[in-house]
Structure 1
Amino acid sequence: MNSATDKGITVAVDQNEYLAEGAGTVDAVVTIETDAELVPIAKPQERLEILILDCSGSMGTGHKFPEARKAVLAALDVLPDGTRFAIVEGTAMARLIFPTDVPSLPANRDSRAAARRKLEKLRATGGTAMGTWLGQARQLAQKHPGAMVHAILLTDGKNEHEEPEALAAEIAQSQGFFTCDCRGVGTDWRVDELRAIASALHGTVDIVADPALLAADFTAMMQGSMAKAIPELTLRVWTPAGATVRFVKQVAPTIVDLTARRTDTGPQVGEYPLGAWGAEDRDYHVEVAVEPAPPGREKLAARISVVAGEEVLGQGLVKAVWTNDTALSARISRRVAHYTGQAELAQAVQEGLAARKNGDVDTATAKLRRAVELAASSGNESTAKLLRGVVEVDERHGTVRLRTQVQAADEMALDARSTKTARVRKEG
């Protein structure tokens, strides 16, 4: 492992740099760790929190809407005074319901009380068009140039009142303007829709099956947002002539494929947005294709830089050394192997659940059996526990079969949390 610390950011590279003769694939796990207080960039002078509340007719059933109102108020209660906020009513269109005459207001006793009165008058009626909700949030973000903008989107249903292409377009247009955590309450929403929003906008997605738990979840999300002090970091990857980046994936704490988000910024240089940061660490799997060289030759396969604006805050090197010594080239980096397995685990879960939904029992059983094996071998106890809500595992005979009765909430929780990975320690 090689690592470098600079300006409040540590960049550590784990890999087996030895390649067999003729091999041309280099894999590395890059760990980025930040001390937000020490990073020498201008912190945002203004923060904006946008609370997007699904007000469609289905929210009026049961206790969803009253609990959602409580959750919004709970989130506002933990906002530091002076933090600007806005509340958006989401139906088949989007409407700024608080404040109504300006884009946002700073949090204080009076504005919280006024927001409470407005929420008490709000009723659940109408449809669901999440793209318009994101469009409203983007417009609000644009009215706060230079601000650090975060949104929480809550829904209980599917995106039924606009075309999928409209939602996809709004997601694409919203990238870079704000981050967004998404929550689905109940079991009538679609995990893939909210995952598409959260993944693109550097947020999280989860199910809150019991509406009574919304307030605690909103509080945690707001506190998490307040812990972010760095508005945006970028991963810059330089490769030498003849080498290409095959993929860049965030692999911890969750799996997010960043490959398609690459922006070419110069010869052999690509940049990948990493979103907002606090004091935290994340792991990235980088795979590079290089031209093979004779045994004994060493090449720099990639230079990994962490950038804010145009300032390089930290850097790490990915190397390649060709050898005839199979004892060296056959070694696999423990962390590369672990996260490769975690990515396969997430894929197996999602493909298994999709096959189950489509009635393909054989494929569903095979995929989820593989997921059980991977969760056990990698120590991902959280996913292993969630899998048991969908499959029956016979430890003695090593068999796995689909449960005949599966709670919708259990299945959706497994799907929504399938990209959460078990961490593995950095190698010394």
Structure 2
Amino acid sequence: MSSHTTRPPKPGIRLHVDLGGDPRPHRSAKIEAHLRVDVAADGAPTDLPAVQLAVMIAVDVAESNRAAVRHALPAALRALPDRISFTVLGSGPEPVRCFPRDDDEWAVADQNVRRRAAFVAGSLPLHREGPRPAGYAAWVAGARALLTGRPVSVRHLVLITDGSSFSSEDRLEEELDACAGQFTCDVFAVGVDWKPDPLLKLAERLHGTAEFVDEGLGRAITGAIQRLRRVHTPQLPIEVTVRPSVRQVSLAEKTPRPHRLGGLPESGRPHRWSFPTYQWEQGRRDYLLTLVADSDADPLETELQFAMVSIGGVHAPVTARWHHPEQSPLQELAGADSVRTLNATARMRSALRRGLIALQENRRDVALERLGQAARLAVRLDAEWVLDEIRTVADVEDAAGGRVRLRSVDAGTLGPMILRAGSRPEGPLTDPVTARPGPRCRGCRTPAGSEARYCITCGEKLL
């Protein structure tokens, strides 16, 4: 497939598509493409006006962990920018309104409001002995009830949790489905008794991050709000229109925040899918688009367009050709390296996370295998942060060979590492993207330019 770079009809967005390889025809052939989206500010204000932000700060913490938020929350409230809408909820059997305490659901920050909010936060209600708290589903439902009614550009939940309200979460999936597209969420874990998986689920489904904060919670909350102000486009769908032979479509963001995107079929357009994305800042994002297609009615050795990718008025095709099953493609496609890198990075993160979970569950054989796999891939991808994580729990004897020796570790210390493996933001891929090689004459094998139609040596028509 060609590498297609489109010129944006409006400044700010550039879309580039690379295909992983020309596929072999069968009923369920998988076609993978790397989508790279570059967004430039192009004269937009440095910061989004604070009046366009609404932030709900939810403190899901037990009384025994009050020290974790005693000073951090007032400090974060005193640092709020003027004119931002905010509300603070404390903990009980159900979320409890802490500020504002009058009939208004939202406070708008100024010097006096910040001072009153910081004072009230000193007596924030937290979980005590008694009825079991309602769980994360209740926090998500409460955020939806408040945030969706606030008519601003960016709506965001900051959830601070020590895991004390975690339950079986039977309702969590249902609530997350209802919240799709309504707001985004960052999760800050404090204490030692929380479980990583539900926090990662919250962050992934609500397009944010989950991280453990031992110290500096106030700075973490302030940093999250500052990042929200750098958002130039709160929501921007990636639309994928496919040919009828494509039966399945999936899209996963790989950088900066790895997570799978939920696709929404467009009403009345059965071959068009929309994948909502959020919080676009200046910079680059990388996605892996996967198509599953049938080849029964398609011609062989013919360039076919399997999809059109559109974002912000910019379009790029995904094209490939079916090869004869008994033949090998004449040459490797330029985009294959970038697709392989995306897949290898995903395997590396998955191996690291699964290895840490296995170690936490005392399945040491599995942990040894997974962490060794993560080490091998980290060397290949030059991901030093992964090797640093592995060295926390094991001696790395031969990283390239995947040989590690586990040490005895406290299972309670592994939670923060599991969060980082599943939610740690990454920078953009660094592999250079080159143009696709031009066609080559099938007769005399002379290479030709990408726009050539006939061989300059023998005059044969080029495919």
Indicate the TM-score class for this superposition, using the shorter chain for normalisation: 0.7 to 0.9
Q: 1:336: Cα distance to partner? A: 0.5
When residues 304 and 56 of structure 1 are mapped into structure 2, their CA distance, relative to the original with a 3 A threshold, is same
1:9 pairs with 2:13 = yes
d(CA) in 2 for partners of 1:123, 1:289: 51
Alignment-derived partner of residue 94 in structure 2: 93
Quote the residue 1:309 is aligned against: none
Report the CA distance shift for 1:262/1:58 in structure 2 as closer, same or farther (over 3 A).
farther
Q: 1:168 to 1:241 in 2, by over 3 A?
A: closer
Please list the CA deviations of residues 175-225 of structure 1 after superposition, one character each: whole Å capped at 9, or x if unmatched: 2221110010132211111111111111111111x2x32122112111101
Alpha-carbon offset, residue 338 of structure 1: 0.6
Cα deviation, residue 405, structure 1: 2.2
TM-score (norm: length of structure 1): 0.87
Change (3 A) 1:281 1:331: closer
Q: Distance in 1 between matches of 2:163 and 2:22?
A: 51
Measure, in 2, the Cα distance between the counterparts of 1:109 and 1:262. 43
2:418 to 397, 401, 415: 415
CA 1:167/1:91 → structure 2, altered by over 3 Å: closer, same or farther? farther
Query: Which amino acid letter does the alignment assign opposite residue 120 of structure 1?
Result: G
Describe the superposition over 1:144-183 as per-residue Cα deviations: whole angstroms up to 9, x where unpaired: 13542112111112433x5411233222222222111001
Pick from 51, 73, 76: which aligns with 1:72? Answer: 76
8 Å contact 1:152–1:180 — kept in the other structure? yes
**1:84: which partner in 2?**
85
2: CA distance, partners of 1:85 / 1:98: 9
Q: Secondary structure at the match of 1:349?
A: helix
Amino acid at match of 2:95: A
1:251 corresponds to which letter in structure 2? K
Q: Kindly indicate whether residue 38 of structure 2 is the aligned counterpart of residue 33 of structure 1.
A: yes
What CA distance in whole angstroms lies between the structure 2 residues aligned with 1:301 and 1:237?
10
Give distance in 1, aligned partners of 2:224 and 2:207.
Answer: 13
Distance in structure 1 (CA, Å) of the matches to 2:222 and 2:317:
39
- The reply to whether residue 181 of structure 1 matches residue 182 of structure 2 is no
Q: Which amino acid aligns with 2:169?
A: P
- 1:371-398: CA deviation from partner (whole Å, max 9, x where unpaired): 1111221111112211211222113986
* Candidates 279, 285, 290, aligned match of 1:287: 290
State the match for 1:108 in structure 2. Answer: 110
Which secondary structure state, in structure 2, belongs to the residue aligned with residue 27 of structure 1? strand
How far off is 1:261 after superposition? 4.1
Partner of residue 407, structure 2: 403
The one-letter code matched in structure 2 to 1:118 is: V
8 Å CA contact 2:76, 2:219 repeated in 1: no
AA matched with 2:265:
T
Answer yes or no: is the 8 Å Cα contact 1:55–1:123 preserved in 2. no
1:313 aligns with 2:316: no
Match of 2:369 in 1: 366
Aligned to 1:120: 122
Superposed displacement of residue 232, structure 1: 0.9
1:247 corresponds, among 250, 254, 259, to: 250
1:298–1:320 contact (8 Å) kept in structure 2: yes
CA contact (8 A) 2:36 2:284 kept: yes
Once residues 254 and 156 of structure 2 are traced to their aligned partners in structure 1, the CA distance between those partners, rounded to angstroms, is 23
Alpha-carbon distance change, 21 to 191 in structure 1, aligned in 2, over 3 angstroms:
closer
Give the alignment partner of residue 131 of structure 1, picking from 127, 137, 143. 137
Structure 2 vs 1, CA of residues 131 and 325 (structure 1 numbering), >3 Å: closer, same or farther? closer
Q: Secondary structure at the match of 2:224?
A: helix
| Displacement after TM superposition at 1:271 (Å) | 1.2
| TM superposition score normalised by structure 2 | 0.81
Secondary structure class of the residue paired with 2:189: strand
RMSD, aligned α-carbons:
2.6
Greater share of strand: 1
1:351 is displaced (CA, Å) by 2.2
Q: Distance in 2 between matches of 1:197 and 1:31?
A: 25
1:267 maps onto 2:267 in alignment? no
Q: Which has the larger radius of gyration?
A: 2
Matched, 1:222 2:225: yes
Between stretches 218-227 and 324-333, larger displacement belongs to: 324-333
Q: After superposition, what is the alpha-carbon deviation per residue over 1:81-104, rounded to whole angstroms, capped at 9, x for unaligned?
A: 111111111333112211122011
**More helix per residue: 1 or 2?**
1
SS at match of 1:328: coil
Q: What's the counterpart of residue 387 of structure 1?
A: 390
2:300 and 2:320 map into 1 onto residues whose CA distance is 11
Deviation at 1:343, TM superposition (A): 1.1
The secondary structure found in structure 1 opposite 2:170 is helix
Is residue 2:165 matched to residue 1:159?
yes
1:13-39 C-alpha deviation (Å, 9 max, x unpaired)? 122453456693321110112235579
Matched, 1:237 2:240: yes
Count of residue pairs brought into register by the alignment: 410
- Give the letter aligned to residue 273 of structure 2: G
Please say which of residues 90-99 and 198-207 is displaced more in the overlay: 90-99
| Aligned CA distance change for structure 1 residues 246 and 391 (closer, same or farther; 3 Å) | farther
Tell whether 2:291 aligns with 1:302: no
- Contact 1:84/1:106, CA 8 A, preserved across alignment: yes
CA offset digits 1:269-290 (Å, max 9, x no partner)? 1111112222232110011123
Distance in 2 (CA, whole Å) between partners of 1:95 and 1:113 is: 20
Classify the secondary structure of the residue corresponding to 2:204: helix
Q: 1:49 aligns with which of 25, 49, 55?
A: 55
- Deviates most, 366-375 or 168-177: 168-177
For 1:231 and 1:405, how far apart are their aligned partners in 2?
A: 42
Percent of aligned pairs with the same amino acid? 24
